[in-house]
Amino acid sequence: MILIAIAWCLLTLAAAMLVGQQVRDWSLQQLQTEGQDRLLATINRIRSALDEYRYLPFLLTQNDDVRRLLLADNPEHWTEVSRYLEQTNLVAGAAGLFILDRKGRALAYSHWREAEGFFAGSHAEQPYFLQAAGGEQGRHFALQHGVAPAYFLSAPVYNQHIFIGAAVVRVNLLNLLPELPDAELFTVSDDNGQVFLTPRSGWQLQRLDSLYQKQNRLELADGTSVQLWLLADKRRLMAQSVRLDDLGWTFTSLTPIREAEQRGQAFMLATLGGGLALGLLLLYVRERHLKHLSQQETRDALARSEAQQRTIISQSEVGLITIDQQGGILFINPMAMQQFGVSQPLVNGMKLENLLAGLDQFGPIRRALSRLAQPGFVPVTGYEVVGRRGDGTEFPMLFSIRRMRNEPEPQYLVTVIDITRRKRLEHALRDANESLEQKVIERTRALEAAQQELVQAGKLAALGRMSSAVVHELNQPLTAMRTYLAICRQLLDQPQLLAENLKLLDGLTNRMEVITRQLKTFAYKKPEALGPVSLATVIDQSLLLFRDRFASGGIELNCRPEQAAVSVSGDSARLEQVLINLVKNACDAIDQQGGRGEVLIAVERMNGQVLLQVADSGPGIAEEHLEQLFEPFFTTKSIGSGLGLGLAIVASIVRDLGGEISVSNRPEGGACFRVTLQAADNEP
């Protein structure tokens, strides 16, 4: 059966395509004949329109005032001739009439009132003048960019067989278009393929081959071929062209073929539809015969199915109820009778809503029951409601309702599941969760207390390291001061030696001042107001302190001042302290590997921020020390070389200025400190 249907469809499709092609070719042949007639009519109309102006040059040559003007060139004659030309042109409707002398100069013009510059030019080289000077009837087509296409007619003016001038008529070819039918689509182009006459304004002065996207020829059933154009707007046109040798113009008639193609498609679809309809009719007759045979079997099967459904419903482990389109109970299975505490005779015909408590609280159930047997009915699945037993007690249940059948009368199946046990378990689980949440809160509080104890222990450890470092740093200069004081007592009568010892004492007090100043800076209060600071000035001031160290230690400084021509938000003193600490650490790192290295200072602008980098070619920083490097009193130097507050002070200053600081090891060796600061408001 399937193979027969496929073969019939293929045969119908082939016949439809053949009919469609024949109808399309016949329609195109008719359009081709009509296009030829229109093309000939268009040529005749344009020729007739041009012929209406052919008499004008000869009319002008017969005027006595024109001859006198050409012979005498008197201003009075110029005025009379110009007015004569003006009046004649108003009657003839040409674009212009003018008189040329034997040298091709214009002596009179129909538009003399508004075209004074016209008389300044020479027409001696124009074909229409040369033809008239040769004793011929002049004809010339002119197409200039930005000027309407014009056709010139000329005739010679003689005085006793002597050529004394020429009468010229200029015709604006665009004025011929209103005389043509509006629905007609054609083009007139010159030998260069440029269109100068067409009813479609957008094609005016365009090249003929630019009017279409694609050109091809179509072979028709009778052996003839037609030329088709595909336009930019996806229209397909039939093009028929002919060239007029006397004018040098090519006339092209354009005919839309959409109607012919639609006619062919319509016949193809009609044939296809008829064949398919015939096939469907035959199939319908066959299926109707088979349907009559199976209807009785279907009715018997439906009766058996209903009996089987009732048996399944009766034996189901969930409550099942069938209702009619009014919501009346038709059948209830034993499980539902057990859940609601009712019997079949008691509930027959009872409304289902009587078995539900607080129906107004359950909007989806109420809407579903009110729209039974209506288009707006929406099934409900697994909705929690409250059921009412026969003794008036209530219990939670899951309620579902869906349409079971439509014919012969709509019936609906309601599923009821008692979830009393599940609700008890949910309450128990909720109580357990609340108890667990309370335990989590208590444990969190205990962890927070332990964390505070750890923080306090860390503070005590830092205080211990600070105390040890401060005691060690201050003990050495104090011991030396006691020794020098004892020596001074012995040298009271030797002023020169006494002065040297006092100078040494002064150096020791300066060292103790540096130690205490670091502690004071570590506790320095964040500045209340920040302002724009030139980063180049900060770098210059800071590097003054390291000139001797760079020279004596063989350290090379790599810093380009033009990179630092930017202002940042901060204060000069604290920024100098940051840079001094970073450069000093870089020099110390280079000294650790025997001196001679490089210190690199780079500045970069990025998105309203300024990145300051200080790098060295030293041994770098151990990976396990990178995270502790900015902690107070942490140092990798030997005891007596510092308190470990330098980088902690730097990090504190950078944070106070709203910036960030980080450190990493360079791939080529050494460490690199990166300080990100906010650019001043006037910086890009």
Residue 84: closest CA among 67, 65, 104: 65
Question: 154: pLDDT confidence band, cut at 50, 70 and 90?
Answer: very high
In degrees rounded to 5, what are phi and psi of residue 270? -65, -45
- Looking at per-residue pLDDT, the higher value among 248 and 100 belongs to 100
Average pLDDT of the segment spanning 547-561: 79
Residue 356: closest CA among 325, 319, 324: 319
pLDDT number for residue 169 = 92
Average pLDDT of the segment spanning 164-173: 89
Q: Which of 100-109, 117-126, 412-421, 589-598 has the lowest mean pLDDT?
A: 117-126
Q: What is the DSSP letter of 361?
A: G
Question: Tens digits of per-residue pLDDT, 479-496?
Answer: 667 676 777 766 666 777
If one counts every other C-beta atom within 10 angstroms of the C-beta of residue 460, the result is 10
User: Cα separation of 67 and 166, whole Å?
Assistant: 10
Query: How many degrees, rounded to 5, is the angle at CA 378 between CA 377 and CA 380?
Result: 130
User: What residue spans of 375-490 are helical by DSSP H?
Assistant: 420-490
pLDDT number for residue 140 = 86
pLDDT > 90: percent of the chain: 3
Average pLDDT of the segment spanning 596-611: 86
Q: Which of 37-41, 309-313, 331-335, 516-520 has the lowest mean pLDDT?
A: 516-520
Question: 29: pLDDT confidence band, cut at 50, 70 and 90?
Answer: confident
Q: Which of 249-258, 501-510, 545-554, 575-584 has the lowest mean pLDDT?
A: 501-510
Residue the block writes with tokens 């005025």: 79
User: Cα separation of 535 and 659, whole Å?
Assistant: 14
CB 167 within 8 A of CB 154: yes
pLDDT number for residue 561 = 54
Question: 523: pLDDT confidence band, cut at 50, 70 and 90?
Answer: very low
pLDDT number for residue 309 = 62
pLDDT number for residue 684 = 47
Query: Which contiguous run of DSSP H or E holds residue 331?
Result: strand 329-332
Residue 184: closest CA among 46, 26, 24, 25: 46
pLDDT number for residue 541 = 79
Average pLDDT of the segment spanning 245-251: 83
For residues 177, 179, 185, 186, the Cα torsion angle rounded to the nearest 10 degrees is -60
Residue 22 reports pLDDT greater than 90: no
Question: Tens digits of per-residue pLDDT, 117-152?
Answer: 666 678 888 888 998 888 888 888 887 655 678 888
CB 82 within 8 A of CB 98: no
Q: Which residues contact 465 (CB under 8 A, 6 or more apart)?
A: 633, 634, 644
User: Cα separation of 432 and 428, whole Å?
Assistant: 6
pLDDT number for residue 414 = 86
pLDDT number for residue 144 = 65
Question: 63: pLDDT confidence band, cut at 50, 70 and 90?
Answer: confident
Residue 518 reports pLDDT greater than 60: no
Residue 649 reports pLDDT greater than 80: yes
pLDDT number for residue 155 = 92
3-state secondary structure of 447: helix
CB 98 within 8 A of CB 152: no
Residue 229 reports pLDDT greater than 60: yes
Residue 55 reports pLDDT greater than 80: yes
pLDDT number for residue 672 = 92
Bridge partners of residue 109, in order along the sequence: 98
In degrees rounded to 5, what are phi and psi of residue 229? -110, 140
Question: Tens digits of per-residue pLDDT, 370-407?
Answer: 887 777 788 888 888 888 888 888 888 888 888 877 76
Average pLDDT of the segment spanning 539-566: 77
Question: 521: pLDDT confidence band, cut at 50, 70 and 90?
Answer: very low
| Mean pLDDT over the full length of the chain | 78
pLDDT number for residue 524 = 47
User: Cα separation of 552 and 130, whole Å?
Assistant: 101
DSSP-derived pairing of the beta strands 555-559 and 597-606 = parallel
pLDDT > 70: percent of the chain: 81
